Structure 1
């Protein structure tokens, strides 16, 4: 976490909406797509990291993209300066683990 100041997350229902959110997030700001997690019963979270302003912009844009498709965002958050131990949880989200 030393390089990054913030995490941004969006949770919605369905892979199509999560992909739209992730695409919008990555296009809107200089963030790194970390991965996603199928939370439960179709709810999926997508996670990005970057500086605080970029994460805020990315999350706002991702939320709007999902809502523009007529879907509902279950939750979203930007965590500024997360504790270093959060990295243990982030590893679970990693796209590298899914492709691995």
Structure 2
């Protein structure tokens, strides 16, 4: 497989249809599955990566198979690699000057917002939490200096507003270490 610079994501409100959809998506094009999992409240998330054309084909097939069960979809060419890393694992940087949080009603919103945020300012993603145990909501946690975090949070909320409903956004200067540690548990 050539360089994987694009991610595709589908959010379905049926687990069974999600399992069927991911199989068809993987058979449709040369893509790599990054995540396929059930989540609260009975949603199913599919994330894959590859070259733009391949991911576009997989998403097209996925939306056809998923049909009325699709509640969110996205395709991000030239995605920042930090977005993929933050979905797959959480980490706390050595030094935290400020923390920003963007909270959405859907997983799609957090993925889009995270990509806009890291492209807009010198910030580091701590995590992207996608719906598990939080009633299908999602949130992005990022860090950097206060000005960069403010810029990133604004860019993330603006970038995702056409695709997802923002619940809330915050910037905390000099957060307590215990709070920061709790963000990835």
TM-score by length of 2: 0.46
Larger radius of gyration between Structure 1 and Structure 2: 2
Matches of 1:40 and 1:25 in 2, distance apart?
22
Aligned match of 1:87? 180
Aligned match of 1:96? none
After TM superposition, give the deviation of residue 14 of structure 1 in Å.
1.6
- Structure 2: 5+ residue stretches without partners: 1-92
The structure with the largest helix share of the pair is: 1
Matched residue pairs, number?
91
TM-score by length of 1: 0.81
Extract structure 1 runs of 4+ deviating beyond 4 A. Answer: none
Alpha carbon RMSD of aligned pairs, Å? 1.6
- Structure 1: 5+ residue stretches without partners: 93-100
SS of the residue aligned with 1:9?
strand
Structure with the greater relative contact order (CA < 8 A, sep ≥ 6): 1 or 2?
1
After TM superposition, give the deviation of residue 63 of structure 1 in Å.
0.6
After TM superposition, give the deviation of residue 86 of structure 1 in Å.
1.3
